[in-house]
Structure 1
Amino acid sequence: MAVGTNGTNGPNGGSLPKGTPLTEPSPVAETDPAVYGEYEAKWGKAAFPATEDEWIARAKEVADILATDAVQRDLENKSPRAEIALLKHSQLLRVLGPTKYGGGGQPWNVAYKLIREVAKTDGSIGMLLGYHLLWSTSANVVGTPEQADRTHKLIIENNWFVGGAVNPRDQDQVITQDGDHIVFNGFKHFNTGGVVSDLTVLEGVLEGTEDHIFAIVETKQPGIQFLHNWNNVGLRLTESGSVRVINVRVPWTDALGWSATDKKPFDEILKIPFARLLLPTIQLVFSNFYLGIALGALSAGSAYTRTSTRAWPYTGGDTKSAATDEFYILERYGNFHAHLAAVTALADASGLAVASVYSNYSENRSELTWRGRGELAEKVAAVKVVATDEALQVTAGIFEVTGAKATSSKVGLDRFWRDVRTHTLHDPVAYKNRELGRWQLLDEIPEPTWYT
C-alpha cells in the first residue's frame, strides 16, 4: 500500500481554507521510549496471546505498568511517545488484525475489553488504543477487500500506530484531483494521537461534489503539521490538538472505497448500511474507556479509603473506629459497584452485538439492512447514555467517600473525573437520550450521522 506524501506544487499551491489558524507550534516534550525497553524483550520472548483471557491478561499487565507513575505522567503532560512504544511492545495494537500478517484475529468484543482494562489506570492511553483499533480497521468498513488487505499488511507487519484527523465539527478538508492522485488541504482543531502516530487517517470532500473520501497516509511528512496545542482539563496524554494538512498527495488507489480507474465511489461499498458501521463501532469505544476510567476511580478510591480515610468523629453516638465501617461510606461504595457492574454487563452485551454484525456481514456487506444497522446503533447508544451518567457520578462522587485530603494533586484521584468530563463533551449525550426516546416511542431507527 502506498502512503500519501506532501507535494510542494499541488493544485491549490499550498493555500489553506479561509480562517485557518497560522500560529506556529511550540516545542513539545516527549516521554522516552527507553523507559519501557525491558518489555520489548520480555513480550518479544513471550507467547503471542491466543485467547480472550490471554489478551485481557496482557492488557492488565500494561495497565499495571502504567499505574506506577500515572499521576506523575498526567501532571507532566508530555507527548506519550513512550506509552505508544509500550502498546507496541505488548502487541495490543495488533489484536484485531488478521493472523496471516501477525495479528491477533480477535473480534471487537475482545478489543473493547482491552480498551477498558488499559483505561482503568490511564484513560489517555486507553483512549489512544481505542482510536487506533477503529482507524486501523476502517478499511474493513469503507474500503475494498483489496484495500483492506493491503492496509492490514502494512499496519500489522510494521506494528504501526494509527491516528486520525477526522473531526466532523470542523470544515471538511478539501480534496482536489491531480492525475492519478488526490490532494488533501485543510485544518482540524482536533485530531487524536497524530503526533505520536506512524499513519494518519484523513477525510475530506472531493471538490465540486458532496462525496467524502477516507485515506490513510504517512504521518511524518511536511504536509502534516501538528500545532502541539492540546492542554485541556483531562485526557492530557492523547495529543488531541490541532493539525494543518497542506498538499498531502494520495494515490487514487488508496482512496478507500473508490475506483482508481473511474475516479468514482463504489456504490456497492459506500452507499450501503455496512459502510456506516464506523460510528456505532467507535461510540462503543468511547463507552468502554469511560467505563474503564470509572472502574479505575472506584479501585483507586477504595484503596485510599482502606488506608487513609479517617472515620468521622462527630456522629451523635454512632462513631466508628474505621472509615470502612462507616454506613454512608459502605452504602456509597456498594451503590457505585452495583451501577458499574450493570454498565459493564450492558457494554459486554453490546460488544458481542458489534462483533456479531461484523462476523455475519463482512463477507456479504449488502445483506445488512438499514434496520439492522439502526438496531445496533441503539444498543450502542444505550451504553453511551448509562456509561456517561455513571462515569461522571462515580468519578466525582469518589471524593465523598475518600475525604478532603484525597483532593491532593499527589493522590491524583481528580484525573479520573477530568478525563471523563473532557471526552463526554465530545457529542452531547442529550441527543442520544432523544434518539433512544424516538426509538422507544416511535420505533424509529436513527439517521446515520457522524455521531450516530
Structure 2
Amino acid sequence: MTVSLLNARKAPLDTARELASEFARTAVDRDARGGTPKVERDRLRHSGLLSLSIPRQFGGLDASWSETFDVVREFARVDSSIAHVFGFHHLMLATVRLFAKPSQWQTWFTLTASNNWFWGNTLNPLDTRTVVKGHDGWREFSGQKSFCSGANDSQMLIASAVDEAAGGKLLIAAIPSGRSGITLHNDWYNMGQRQTDSGSVTFKRVRVEESDLLLDPGPLSTPFACLRPLIAQLHFANIFLGIAEGAFEEARKYTREEARPWFRSSAAHTAEDPYVLSHYGDFWVALESTRLLVERAGWVLDEAWNKGSALTREERGETAIAIATAKVAASRHGLDLCSKVFEVTGARATHASVALDRHWRNLRTQSLHDPLDYKLHELGDWALNGTAPIPTFYS
C-alpha cells in the first residue's frame, strides 16, 4: 500500500516543493524525450495532491483556487508539462462541479479522492469533428478530437461532441477513459509542452449514458457556470508566471557561476556588469508586477467561487477582467524574459545540455492556443466602453 506524502501532515505546498525538486532532476531529459511522464504522474497520484481542490466532505483537501494555483506554479518553475496536466485535472473537476447536478459531481469527487483518479481533457470546443447520434435513453459519440491534454494515463475524461440534430449544440460528458471505442493516440510532438500528452483521441461509437452528460445547469449557463473558462485562463497565467520564475532562477545561477564578462566590460565578474544588472532589474520588475496581478486574480476568483449560484453577471465580468489582465501580463513578460535570459548568460548557455531554451518553447507553445490580440481587444472594450467580456470557453 502506497502512503501519501501528505500523511506526514505536510502542507500541500511543501509536498509540491518536494515533488518539484524530484521532477527537476529529470526535466531536461524528459523534455527531449517527450511522451507520457508516467512515473511523475504516479508520484502525483501517491502524493494526495489530486484531491487538492476537492471539498473536505468528499475526501479532498479543500484548497482554494489560490492555493491550488500556488501548487501549479511550483511545478511550472521546473516542469511546465507536469504543471499543465496537474492543473487541467483540477480544471476538469471544476467542469463537473459547474456543469453537472450535485448527485453527479459529488459522486465523481468522492471516487476521485478515494481512488486517486487522474482526469484528462477531450473537450476542445473548437474541434467539432466529434458528433452525437441519439438513441433511446443514451447517446453515441463518434469522431476525432485534437489537443487532448492529459488524456493518456487518465481514469476519467471530459468529452464533447456536436449534436447536429439539436442545431449544433455542444454536449459535454464525463466518461471513463477506458470505455469501449476510445482510442488515445500518442501523437503529440510539438516544440514545447512536450509531456502534456496533448495529442488526439478517436471516439468510435462510444456509448454515453444520460447520467454521463453535464446538462444541469450545463455549460456556460449561469454566471457561476461561466467561471469555468476563467479558471482555465488563470491556470495558464500561473503556468506562464511559473515558467518565467524558473527561467529567471536558472539564468541567475548560470550568470553567477558560469557566465564570463564581455572582453570590453570593466567588470571583473559578469554579476557586476552594468548591462547585465540592468537586464536583471527589468526581469525583477516584470516578475514582481506579474506576481501581484496573478495573485490578485486568484483572490478575486476565490471570492467569485465562494458566492456560488449567488454570483452576479457583473461580478463574473469583473473576475474575467482581473484574470485577463493577469494573463496578458504573464504572457508578455514571460515570453520577453524567457528570450532575454540569453543576453545575461551568453553564448555558452545555448548548449543543448543547459536546455535554457525549453522555457521559451513551453511558454510560446501554450500561449498560442488563445491569441493575445483578442484578449487585449476584450480588455480595451472594458477600459474604453465598460463592456465586460462575453462568456465563451476562452473568455
| TM-score, L = length of structure 1 | 0.84
- 1:125 is displaced (CA, Å) by 0.4
* Counterpart check, 1:416 vs 2:366: no
Structure 2 partner of 1:369: 312
Structure 1 partner of 2:296: 349
SS of 1:196's equivalent?
coil
Alignment of 1:68-147 (within 5 A): 68-147=25-104
- 1:127 is displaced (CA, Å) by 0.8
Is the alpha carbon distance of 1:120 and 1:76 closer, same or farther for their aligned partners in structure 2, counting shifts above 3 Å? same
* Counterpart check, 1:360 vs 2:360: no
Is the alpha carbon distance of 1:436 and 1:296 closer, same or farther for their aligned partners in structure 2, counting shifts above 3 Å? same
Structure 2 partner of 1:324: 271
* Counterpart check, 1:296 vs 2:243: no
Structure 2 partner of 1:271: 221
Structure 1 partner of 2:369: 426
Structure 2 partner of 1:8: none
* Counterpart check, 1:224 vs 2:182: yes
CA RMSD of aligned residues (A): 1.7
Distance 2:207 2:164 in 1: 15
Residue from 3, 11, 14 that aligns with 1:57: 14
Q: In the TM superposition, what whole-angstrom CA distance separates every residue of 1:46-69 from its partner, at most 9, and x where no partner exists?
A: 22x4xxxx2222111111111112
Aligned residues, how many? 394
SS of 2:376's equivalent?
helix
AA matched with 2:344: V
* Counterpart check, 1:215 vs 2:215: no
Structure 2 partner of 1:241: 199
- 1:322 is displaced (CA, Å) by 0.9
* Counterpart check, 1:163 vs 2:120: yes
* Counterpart check, 1:441 vs 2:384: yes
AA matched with 1:78: G
SS of 1:273's equivalent?
coil
Structure 2 segments unaligned to the other structure (5+ residues):
none
SS of 1:184's equivalent?
strand
Structure 1 segments unaligned to the other structure (5+ residues):
1-36, 259-265
Alignment of 1:248-287 (within 5 A): 248-258=206-216, 266=217, 271-287=221-237
Distance 2:302 2:133 in 1: 36
Structure 1 partner of 2:281: 334
Is the alpha carbon distance of 1:42 and 1:376 closer, same or farther for their aligned partners in structure 2, counting shifts above 3 Å? closer
Q: In the TM superposition, what whole-angstrom CA distance separates every residue of 1:210-230 from its partner, at most 9, and x where no partner exists?
A: 432221111123411122111
Asked if 2 retains the 8 angstrom alpha-carbon contact of 1:203 and 1:215, the reply is: yes
Distance 1:45 1:155 in 2: 17
Asked if 1 retains the 8 angstrom alpha-carbon contact of 2:35 and 2:186, the reply is: no
Is the alpha carbon distance of 1:397 and 1:247 closer, same or farther for their aligned partners in structure 2, counting shifts above 3 Å? same
Distance 2:129 2:66 in 1: 32
Is the alpha carbon distance of 1:254 and 1:294 closer, same or farther for their aligned partners in structure 2, counting shifts above 3 Å? same
Distance 1:182 1:421 in 2: 38
Is the alpha carbon distance of 1:164 and 1:42 closer, same or farther for their aligned partners in structure 2, counting shifts above 3 Å? closer
- 1:117 is displaced (CA, Å) by 0.6
Distance 1:155 1:241 in 2: 24
Distance 2:328 2:383 in 1: 14
- 1:339 is displaced (CA, Å) by 1.1
Higher deviation after alignment, 199-208 or 339-348: 199-208
Distance 1:121 1:410 in 2: 15
Structure 1 partner of 2:8: 46
Distance 1:279 1:421 in 2: 20
Distance 1:44 1:371 in 2: 39
Distance 1:145 1:172 in 2: 30
Distance 1:222 1:360 in 2: 39
- 1:370 is displaced (CA, Å) by 2.0
Q: In the TM superposition, what whole-angstrom CA distance separates every residue of 1:355-412 from its partner, at most 9, and x where no partner exists?
A: 1111112xxx1x3222221111111110111100011011111010001010111011
AA matched with 2:246: G
Is the alpha carbon distance of 1:70 and 1:270 closer, same or farther for their aligned partners in structure 2, counting shifts above 3 Å? closer
Q: In the TM superposition, what whole-angstrom CA distance separates every residue of 1:335-368 from its partner, at most 9, and x where no partner exists?
A: 101211111111111101111111112xxx1x32
Higher deviation after alignment, 79-88 or 395-404: 79-88
Sequence identity (%): 35
Is the alpha carbon distance of 1:219 and 1:297 closer, same or farther for their aligned partners in structure 2, counting shifts above 3 Å? same
SS of 2:333's equivalent?
helix
Distance 1:107 1:140 in 2: 14
| TM-score, L = length of structure 2 | 0.96
- 1:207 is displaced (CA, Å) by 3.7
AA matched with 2:12: W
- 1:102 is displaced (CA, Å) by 2.3
Residue from 296, 320, 323 that aligns with 1:380: 323
AA matched with 2:250: A
Asked if 2 retains the 8 angstrom alpha-carbon contact of 1:137 and 1:152, the reply is: no
